Chain A
Amino acid sequence: MTDMDSGTLITLVTIIGSTLGIVLGALTPAIVEGRAVLKALEGMTRQPEAAGDLRTTLLISMALLESTAIYVLLVILVLIFANPVIDRFFPGG
C-alpha cells in the first residue's frame, strides 16, 4: 500500500464507487417497482374488468421507473470502460 500511485487510487475509488452506486441504483427502483406492482395487483383483484388497462399502465410506468437504474448502469459502464479521469492521467493508455 505504500507505493500506491494516483492511477491505482483512481481505479480503486472507481471500483468501490461503482459497486456502491449499482447497489443503491438497483435497490431503489426495485423497491419502488415492487410497490407499484403491489398496488396494481390490489387494483386487479378488486376490479378484474380493469385488468387490461392496469397492465398496460403498469408496464409503461415500470419502464419509466426502471430507466433510473439504467442511467446508473450507464454511468458505471462509462466509469469502468471509458473512464475520463484515467485518460487524463495516462494519455494514450
Chain B
Amino acid sequence: MDRFFPQVVFSIFGIEVRDTVVSTWLMMMIVIALAIVIRRRRPTLLEMLLDFVVDLISDLLGGYRIERYLPFLGSLAVFVAFANILSILPTIPLPGGTMLPIVAPSRDINTPIALAVVVFFSVHYYGMRQQGVLGYLKNLASPIFLLPLEIVGQISRTVSLAIRLFGNVLSTELIVAVVFMLIPLIVPLPVIGLNLFTGLLQAYIFTALAAVYISTGLEEPGESGIEKAAQPDSAGSRPPDRAAPVDAGSVTPGRVR
C-alpha cells in the first residue's frame, strides 16, 4: 500500500520529481497528439466537445461574453478530465529495469492545489477586467464589515475546490487498488468503470464550480442572482442575445446580494 502514494522518480538539482509530474508530462503529450490527430481526421468530435463546454458555461455565465472565458474554462475541463482518468494506462517499463507507474496526476495533492490557485487568481483577474480594479475592490468590500467574511469565503472555497478533486480521485483509486489486491482478474473492471465515470464527473463539477466562482466575481450591481434565475431560459437553446457585450463602464458601487 505504500507504493500507492506518490514516489520520487528522480531529482534535478535537488528538486525531487515525483511520478505524478512525469505522468503529467506524458498526459500533455497525449492531449496534444490527440488534438492534432482528431483535428485532421474527425473535426466534428472537437466540435462536439466545444459545444458541450459552451453549453455548460453559458448556463452558468449567462449574460456575459462566453468567448472571453471559454479558453480558460475549456482547457481546465480538458486538463482535469484527462488528469483524472490517466491511471487506466498501464505501467511503462523503463530501460534499466525500473518501472514507471502511470498514475493520475490529480492523485497528488499538489496538482489540485495548483489548479485551485489558478482558479482563485483568475476570478479576481476576470473581475478586475470586467469592472476595473477600483470598482472590483469596491464591490468586494461593499459593506466594509463583511470584508473579513468575504476573504474567509474566498480562501475556504479555494481550499475546498482542491480538496474535493483530490479526495474524489484518491478515494476511487483506493477502491480500485483494494479490489485489485483482492481479485486481480476481471472483477476490478466495473470498479475501473466507476473510476472513469467519477473522474469525468469531477472534471465537469470542477469546471462548473470555476465558472460559478468567476460569475460571482463578475457580478454587477442591479443584477442579482434572483433576477438571473427568473429569466425565461429554455434548456438547450441559447438565445442569440446571450453573446451581447456587457457594458463594463456602468459600474457603480453597492452590490446587490
Contacts and interface: CB of A to CB of B under 8 A. Distances in A.
Contacts of B204: 59
Given A50-B235, A52-B59, A71 B163 contact: yes
Contacts of A56: 56, 59-60, 208
B167 interface: yes
Contacts of A71: 163, 167
A19 interface: no
A24 interface: no
A70 B209 contact: no
Interface string A55-84: 010011001001100110110010001000
B90 interface: no
B164 A63 contact: yes
Contacts of B163: 67, 70-71, 74
A73 to B, nearest CB: 6
Contacts of A5: none
Nearest to B235: A52
**Interface magnitude class on chain A:** 10 to 19
Contacts of B209: 60, 63
A70 B59 contact: no
B2 to A, nearest CB: 8
A82 B50 CA distance: 42
Interface string B197-232: 000011011001100100000000000000000000
A71 B159 CA distance: 11
Nearest to B233: A53
B255 to A, nearest CB: 22
A51 interface: yes
Contacts of B122: none
B252 interface: no
B88 to A, nearest CB: 22
Interface in B143-191: 160, 163-164, 166-168, 170-171
Contacts of B97: none
Nearest to B1: A81
A60 B216 CA distance: 15
Interface of B: 5, 56, 59-60, 160, 163-164, 166-168, 170-171, 201-202, 204-205, 208-209, 212, 233-236
- The 5 lowest CB-CB distance pairs between A and B, nearest first, are A52-B235, A70-B167, A63-B205, A67-B164, A56-B59
